[in-house]
Chain A
Amino acid sequence: MAQVAERLQPWVAALDQRPQGAPRWLQDLRDRAAARFTALGFPTVRDEEWRFTNVAPIASAEFKPANGDSARPTEEELAGYLYSDAENRIVIVNGSFSPELTRTEGLPAGVRVGSLAAAVTEQPDVVQRYFGQLADFAGRAFTALNTALAADGAYVHIPDGVVLEKPLHILFVTTNGGAPVMTSARALIVAGDRTQARIVETFAGPRGAVYFTNAVTELVAGENAVIDHYKVQEESFDAFHVASMHVHAARSANFSSHSFSLGAKLARNDANALLDGDGAECTLNGLYLADGERLVDNHTMIDHAKPHCPSHEVYKGILGGKARAVFNGKIVVRQDAQKTDAKQTNRALLLSDNASINTKPQLEIFADDVKCTHGAAIGQLDDDAIFYLRARGLTFFEARDMLIHAFAGQILDRVKIESLKQALEGELFAQLAKDLAEIDAA
């Protein structure tokens, strides 16, 4: 225990420097979060939620909390993170809102996007109503850490009835400032009743940089809202990324999430959706790629609290080298949630003998008139399929590429932003080409 306490000491010291000067309610929340983190400490592999993901490399590293005056990304770096048909963007550099890099001219009237810190004073009622309400930190150390330390972040408020025709991009970028930094990336997205929007959150940093992104996103989808959310995790291969997204879907809302986890040495993505109104619909899809000795962990939780809510979930992973993955898909169907229709699928493609995955579906059903299915399939490329394609004249390499593209395509094809889809395909297949070349050389 002494060792743990010692290891925690620098973090507690960092928490003592937490942002001050916010309104009372927010300061209280930060104080409670700081106390909670100190009490919880970092999770260990004895914690069921972290059984296969050892965060000791994060806990024992010395990350300095990023401050607001660090360098901006270069033009070239920035260009590499943007998508041509998502011109409206909020850029957060090392946790702080960057007005110079943000572009919001094309948004409809009434839509408020920008700095979360500014919104605390400018739209206090909305922020106070939702901030910290979905991202419960009682049992989550990283969420507590973020809540205590996040001084700023991205804020999006779409008033009732407003439709965003064009996608909105929220870019969290870490810049290389020498010493390894920790950023507390925070987003609050409130989409009112009958709204419609496509929102992309990208997390990125310079190649080879060591840093730690600790992210929390809260997203509210009002009645009848149709929200498409995309998460692109393309951090440096030496970075650590721990993130949770917390979604509240009201009556007849339709929320879909597409998570692409391509970077980081250790990535943990939590996606939690609460279906809290009749007929709310939720899709959680994910595609992840890891190679080398990297680890990617996806934990999802769909909480069916009300009747007639369908949920669909497909997560797919491609693993090479000695990469490890974790998938934990929890579906809760509460007593009220009759006529729930929940479907979960998890598939992983292991390109090498040394790659591995731990996968666990977790169904907790308290209602009696429901339909819940889950399935997992882990394996290598299908030899029969390869032979079939070769018997039609495709080379082994062409056949393999076709099957891998098909595997990833089932998730990529649902991306409804063309330039984002192309960027993801480019990134994914460039990485794959490198992994496959290594396998072929061996």
Chain B
Amino acid sequence: MLDIKNLQVKAEGKQILKGIDLHVNAGEVHAIMGPNGSGKSTLARALSGHPEYEVTGGEVLFEGHDLLDMDPDERARAGVFMAFQYPVEIAGVNNAYFLKAALNAKRKHNGQAELDAMEFMQLIKEKSALLDIDQSMLSRAVNEGFSGGEKKRNEIFQMALLEPKLAILDETDSGLDIDALKLVAKGVNAMRTPDRAIIVVTHYQRLLDYIVPDFVHVLTGGRIVKSGGKELALELEKRGYGWLEGDAQPVGAK
């Protein structure tokens, strides 16, 4: 589904990613771990097309298409979803209205009819129960005045509505208490299907107790230095990242 080859990315004039190789198949959950400043979030943002991240080399194929050639909204409509580390507050835009616009943008792209108000509310009702989204979160402006936990739940809620082919969670667990973390994990696990891939970018192993990955990759210094199964996360929990930082050889994922 996703093929990243020798991806190099600059942010604020600094080379952050120095050659990432990663292959993700449908049905897989990959965790990207690494210390602060390693480039984890840069990878997530570059994949979503954030304008402040400049790709200086390499290529990314999504279902065989050149992802880097697509605008951020084209990527989204094609089925790539990024859950933001810092969801943006948008004053004056009602959350439900925003969700409907996003959903219909995608439906239009897929040649489906736009949902009317009734169908939309029905869908909202169905998906909101899973993430404990209450009515007030829908009627307020997008993310405005939301607590940290509410913002992250709102991200996963959007993911549940938009049903992407590839979901990238950018430190969705940061700042969450254990109850919110469990809710978010429940939402993500409900979306694990054989035709969907999920990339979980996280600083902490804790999230991976609840979203158990198929593969774990360690990113330090802009390169993936180690890849393994879920047991790698546990090893990192015990040993930290220090023992890997000397190892600057790029290691391709499976």
A residues apposed to B, CB below 8 Å: 382-385, 387-396, 398-399, 402-403, 405-407, 409-410
Indicate if the CB atoms of A387 and B72 lie closer than 8 Å: yes
Would you call B91 an interface residue if the criterion is a C-beta within 8 Å of the partner chain's C-beta atoms? yes
B residues apposed to A, CB below 8 Å: 48-51, 71-73, 75-77, 81-82, 84, 87-88, 90-93, 98, 101-102, 105-106, 109, 141, 158, 162
Indicate if the CB atoms of A392 and B91 lie closer than 8 Å: no
**Minimal beta-carbon separation of B85 from chain A (angstroms):** 12
**Minimal beta-carbon separation of A85 from chain B (angstroms):** 24
The winner among B88, B98, B141 for most chain A CB atoms within 10 A is: B88
Note all chain B residues with C-beta closer than 8 A to A398. 101, 105
Shortest 4 CB-CB contacts between residues of A and residues of B: A406-B92, A393-B105, A392-B102, A393-B76
Indicate if the CB atoms of B84 and A409 lie closer than 8 Å: no
**Minimal beta-carbon separation of A140 from chain B (angstroms):** 35
Indicate if the CB atoms of B162 and A392 lie closer than 8 Å: yes
Other-chain contact of A391, B49, B106, B141 (Cβ < 8 Å): B49
Other 16 A-B pairs with CB < 8 A, given A385-B88, A388-B88, A394-B101: A382-B88, A387-B51, A389-B98, A391-B72, A391-B82, A393-B105, A393-B106, A393-B109, A395-B73, A396-B71, A396-B73, A403-B92, A406-B91, A407-B91, A407-B92, A409-B92
**Minimal beta-carbon separation of A377 from chain B (angstroms):** 10
**Minimal beta-carbon separation of A143 from chain B (angstroms):** 36
The winner among B90, B158, B162 for most chain A CB atoms within 10 A is: B90
Interface residues of A, dominant DSSP? helix
27 contacts between A and B (CB under 8 A): A382-B88, A382-B90, A383-B51, A385-B88, A387-B50, A387-B88, A388-B84, A388-B87, A389-B90, A389-B98, A389-B102, A390-B71, A390-B72, A390-B73, A391-B72, A391-B75, A391-B84, A392-B73, A392-B102, A393-B73, A393-B105, A394-B102, A396-B71, A398-B105, A402-B101, A403-B92, A407-B91
Note all chain B residues with C-beta closer than 8 A to A409. 92
- With the chains together, A382 CA to B90 CA distance in Å? 9
CB nearest neighbor in B for A411: B92
Other-chain contact of A392, B49, B76, B109 (Cβ < 8 Å): B76
- With the chains together, A392 CA to B87 CA distance in Å? 12
Indicate if the CB atoms of B73 and A391 lie closer than 8 Å: yes
Note all chain B residues with C-beta closer than 8 A to A406. 90-93, 141
Note all chain B residues with C-beta closer than 8 A to A402. 93, 98, 101
- With the chains together, A389 CA to B72 CA distance in Å? 9
Note all chain B residues with C-beta closer than 8 A to A383. 51
Indicate if the CB atoms of B72 and A410 lie closer than 8 Å: no
- With the chains together, A229 CA to B141 CA distance in Å? 27
Indicate if the CB atoms of B88 and A384 lie closer than 8 Å: yes
**Minimal beta-carbon separation of B81 from chain A (angstroms):** 8
**Minimal beta-carbon separation of B53 from chain A (angstroms):** 11
**Minimal beta-carbon separation of B89 from chain A (angstroms):** 8
Indicate if the CB atoms of B92 and A391 lie closer than 8 Å: no
**Minimal beta-carbon separation of A383 from chain B (angstroms):** 8
- With the chains together, A246 CA to B91 CA distance in Å? 32
Note all chain A residues with C-beta closer than 8 A to B106. 393
- With the chains together, A183 CA to B131 CA distance in Å? 62
Note all chain B residues with C-beta closer than 8 A to A391. 48-49, 72-73, 75-76, 81-82, 84
**Minimal beta-carbon separation of B78 from chain A (angstroms):** 9
Indicate if the CB atoms of B73 and A394 lie closer than 8 Å: yes
